[in-house]
Amino acid sequence: MNILVTGGSGFIGTNFIRYLLNTPAFTGQITNVDALTYAGNPENLSDMEKKFPGRYRFIKADICDQAAIEKIFDDHGIDTVCHFAAESHVDRSIVSPDAFIQTNIVGTFTLLETAKKRMDRIVRFHHISTDEVYGSLGDTGYFTEKTPYDPSSPYSASKASSDHLVRAYHRTYGLPVTISNCSNNYGPFQFPEKLIPLMILNALEGKPLPVYGDGGNVRDWLYVIDHCSAVWEILQRGKTGETYNIGGNCEMKNIELVEKICDIIDQKQVPGFNGSRRKLITLVKDRPGHDRRYAIDASKLKAELGWSPITPLDKGLYDTVSWYIDHRDWVNRVITGEYRSWIKRQYG
């Protein structure tokens, strides 16, 4: 495989590239294309360039730039696409939806067009999506691959649009695509705006822990390395034209999740706050269109490819909290924006 990984300097893309390069069964090359918007950080992979010379390369480019993408496909003999690149934060999509339309819809279209023109060598176009395209569940039930789309936010609507485009390019042109819709990811290298890293970092500093509404919104949490292993299985053995849901089997109310994070930090006896950090939890006004519950049925992936998540939530959370505590330099560079200066020096 000569894999093009889009958005490889973001949270999940970073973990996927690190996972793949350290997987003995993978002997190919990876070209990471990222526009380096606010959450993209190529420093996350700088050690991979040294550890795997000739097998990993980074190119700063926008997936909406047709000419740049076509040149990358041709210069590096791309035969496989793993498409992570996306604007992904719901709150940002509510305030500024235009970037989500451009990257998530137009960017996906650009990649599909480029791949379509080179179908003589493209063996797989895998598109990573989200469970948010399905909308909201009640107290019972699960999202399956047959669940009708019902997006609630500009973010999820843009991802739903890109999913439909990918399917259409398979049905209309025969492009060999697969799609995966995953539940909420967590783990190392996640940008601090997302729930889990935000709660970890605020709790470490004794700051308020804002939780939307009554804290009863339920999410299915998926450790990012488990997600990476699922994507790798789909890339190798997934059926062309099929969609696979990827879930963590870890449903939990947001407020209970934040309480677990507080307890882990207290257990580690991290200085900076007296008493239980649960006292820092603060309920705030709910965001517009906030889906009540997500839950994934990943039985198709297990039945067809033998994949199941292996990381229990308690272990994944403990390891994630530990990672952020042990990587304060990375956190500080991201929070202060210092990493942007490094990017500017390296790539302009």
Contact between residue 42 and residue 345 where contact means Cβ atoms under 8 Å apart: no
Q: How far is CA 191 from the centre of its chain?
A: 11
Tokens of 265: 């930090």
| Amino acid 347: pLDDT | 86
What is the maximum alpha-carbon separation in the chain?
64
Which stretches of 35-93 are assigned E, i.e. beta strand? 56-60, 80-83
Which residues 6+ apart lie within 8 Å of 88 measured at CB?
10, 130, 155
Paired residues of 129 in beta bridges: 181
State residue 89's pLDDT score: 82
- Expressed in percent and rounded to 5, the helix, strand and coil fractions of the chain are 45, 15, 35
Tokens of 81: 């696409």
Residue 272 pLDDT:
83
Tokens of 270: 């991290």
Residues pairing with 219 in the sheet: 252
Domains of the chain, earliest start first: 2-186+221-247+291-310+337-347 (3.40.50.720)
Do residues 10 and 39 lie in contact, with contact meaning Cβ atoms separated by under 8 Å? yes
Residue 203 near residue 264, CB atoms below 8 Å: no
At residue 226, what is the residue type?
Answer: D
Determine which helix (DSSP H) or strand (DSSP E) holds 241, and give its type and residue range: none
pLDDT, one tens digit for every residue, the chain (348 residues): 899 999 999 999 999 999 999 999 999 999 999 999 989 999 999 999 899 999 999 999 999 999 999 999 999 999 999 999 999 888 899 999 999 999 999 999 999 999 999 999 999 999 999 999 999 999 999 999 999 999 999 999 999 999 999 999 999 999 999 999 999 999 999 999 899 999 999 999 999 999 999 999 999 999 999 999 999 999 999 999 999 999 999 999 999 999 999 999 999 999 989 999 999 999 999 999 999 999 999 999 999 999 999 999 999 999 999 999 999 999 999 999 999 998 988 887
Is residue 214 helix, strand or coil?
coil
pLDDT at 348: 75
How do 177-182 and 243-246 pair as beta strands? parallel
DSSP 293-336: B--B--HHHHHHH-------HHHHHHHHHHHHHHTHHHHHHHHH
Q: What is the pLDDT of residue 275?
A: 92
pLDDT value of position 207: 96
Residues belonging to the active site: 131-132, 155
pTM: 0.96
How far is the C-alpha of 42 from the C-alpha of 39, rounded, in Å?
10
Tokens of 104: 């998530």
